[in-house]
Amino acid sequence: MNVSQLAKVELHLHLEGAAPAAFIRQLAHEKNVDIGGIFTPDGGYDFENFIEFLAVYEAATQVLQSPEDFQRLTTAVLAECMANDVVYVESFLSPEFCGGGDLSAWREYLHAIREAAAQAERQHGIIMRGIPTCIRHLGPERAKATARCAAETAGDWIVGFGMGGDEMQGRQGDFAYSFDMAHEAGLHLTSHAGEWGGAASVWQAIEDLRVVRIGHGVQAIEDPALVTELVAREIVLEVCPGSNVALGVAKTLATHPIRALREAGVKVTVSTDDPPFFSTTMRQEYQSLAKVYDWTADDFRDLNATAAAAAFCDEATRGRVLEKLELP
Ligand code: MCF
Ligand code: ZN
């Protein structure tokens, strides 16, 4: 069998970042919003580096203006997940883009997103869970509003709290108040680290925020003591190889740290991050890893078992995911 068609778990997918460019263009057209500068002549998203990526991402989100827009977005994103055999997906959601951090607005957006997810699950069996995520470059004060939205809606669907954005600004520990609030509400924690901020940023995330998963985390490879610590603490890395190559975190997949980290015993998983931005899909990620590293179906089953075990959902849901993966 072709490994790219295996059933998959995806733990690191930004909801707006998964919006196909054509979807955003269509909404811009419907709403008469001018976001012309963000597309390449052939219709993809246009950016040259990480900072430009963040700006294009935020420009694209300007057309997402209502709960209904997010309902449509979620339906479109889950269709793409299903086309890639993803059976369980955890998606980063942004209370900033869903009502500007206001709790009652967030509840309405969340309701719409959950409607779309429930319909996709009823019709096709795909399971989605949400991780409200603060945006690091907006600073710790704004993060508190996001954490409050997350804490107030924590439950069997909102299962985690995270942080993305520009890792070069501030320190992980600046956001400890928000992560503590989310933790007290029973949410599981993850933060983007070790994508741009080196091993030091990963240390901060595990020491100062007490996260159990790391978004990216690949620069941990620079510090053998950190690698040992990640193995000992069973911290799971949400690795997004295609994203890292597209943004220049790694030069090529062949020189990407995922294999070395995995061989060192670190728990690694594979995700797409923002697939249309990076011209990737889950199937393509698997295909490339199989080709470049000679990874077999057993390797991918192992990655999915790690991802299922690290999912932030409840145990009953995990059981259903394992069944879909045909894993014990
Ligand atoms: O993982 C990629 C690249 N590294 C850091 N941040 C992000 C990535 N994709 C989206 N983000 C950020 C971005 O700031 O997450 C936020 C965006 O505004 C959305 S969280 C639903
Ligand atoms: Zn990400």
| Residue 34, domain member (yes or no) | no
| Residue 48, domain member (yes or no) | no
List strand residue ranges (DSSP E) for 124-234, in order.
127-135, 160-164, 188-193, 213-216
How wide is the angle at C-alpha 311 spanned by C-alphas 309 and 312, nearest 5°? 125
Q: Measuring CA to CA, which residue among 214, 192, 196 is closest to residue 136?
A: 192
Our mutation pick for probing the ligand 1 site, out of 45, 54, 166, 278, counting the most ligand atoms within 8 A of Cβ, is 54
Our mutation pick for probing the ligand 1 site, out of 58, 192, 195, counting the most ligand atoms within 8 A of Cβ, is 192
Distance of CA 49 from the midpoint of ligand 1 (Å):
13
| Beta-carbon neighbours within 5 Å of ion ligand 2 | 273
DSSP string, 264-295: TT-EEEE--BSTTTTT--HHHHHHHHHHHH--
| Residue 216, domain member (yes or no) | yes
The total number of structural domains in the chain stands at 1
**3-state secondary structure at position 317:** helix
Catalytic residue among 10, 195, 238, 285: 195
Taking the CA of residue 216 as reference, the ligand 1 atom at the shortest distance is 1
CA torsion through residues 288, 293, 296, 302, sign = negative
- Mark whether 195 is an active-site residue: yes
Ligand 1 and 135: CB distance under 6 A: yes
CB 221 within 8 A of CB 259: no
CB 224 within 8 A of CB 267: no
Across the chain, which has 328 residues, the per-10-residue mean pLDDT values are: 94 98 96 90 95 97 98 98 98 98 98 98 98 98 98 98 97 98 98 98 98 98 98 98 98 98 98 98 98 98 98 98 94
| Residue 237, domain member (yes or no) | yes
d(CA 311, CA 89): 9
Does this model's pTM top 0.95? yes
| Residue the block writes with tokens 């295996």 | 6
Taking the CA of residue 215 as reference, the ligand 1 atom at the shortest distance is 1
Taking the CA of residue 240 as reference, the ligand 1 atom at the shortest distance is 1
Ligand 1 and 273: CB distance under 6 A: yes
Taking the CA of residue 92 as reference, the ligand 1 atom at the shortest distance is 21
Residue-range definition of the domain harbouring residue 243 = 3-19+64-325
Q: Measuring CA to CA, which residue among 44, 33, 126 is closest to residue 85?
A: 126
Ligand 1 and 218: CB distance under 6 A: no
Ligand 1 and 192: CB distance under 6 A: yes
Our mutation pick for probing the ligand 1 site, out of 38, 51, 57, counting the most ligand atoms within 8 A of Cβ, is 57
| Residue 54, domain member (yes or no) | no
Q: Where is 8: in which H helix or E strand?
A: strand 8-14
Ligand 1 and 17: CB distance under 6 A: yes
Residue 36 confidence (pLDDT): 74
Residue 37 confidence (pLDDT): 87
Residue 129 confidence (pLDDT): 99
| Residue 279, domain member (yes or no) | yes
Residue 263 confidence (pLDDT): 98
| Residue 146, domain member (yes or no) | yes
- CATH number, residue 110: 3.20.20.140
| Residue the block writes with tokens 């933060």 | 191
| Residue 215, domain member (yes or no) | yes
Ligand 1 and 195: CB distance under 6 A: yes
d(CA 75, CA 82): 11
CB 321 within 8 A of CB 88: yes
CA distances (Å), 35 to each of 50, 55, 135, 279, 303, in order?
19, 11, 21, 20, 38
d(CA 322, CA 299): 16
Distance of CA 7 from the midpoint of ligand 1 (Å):
25
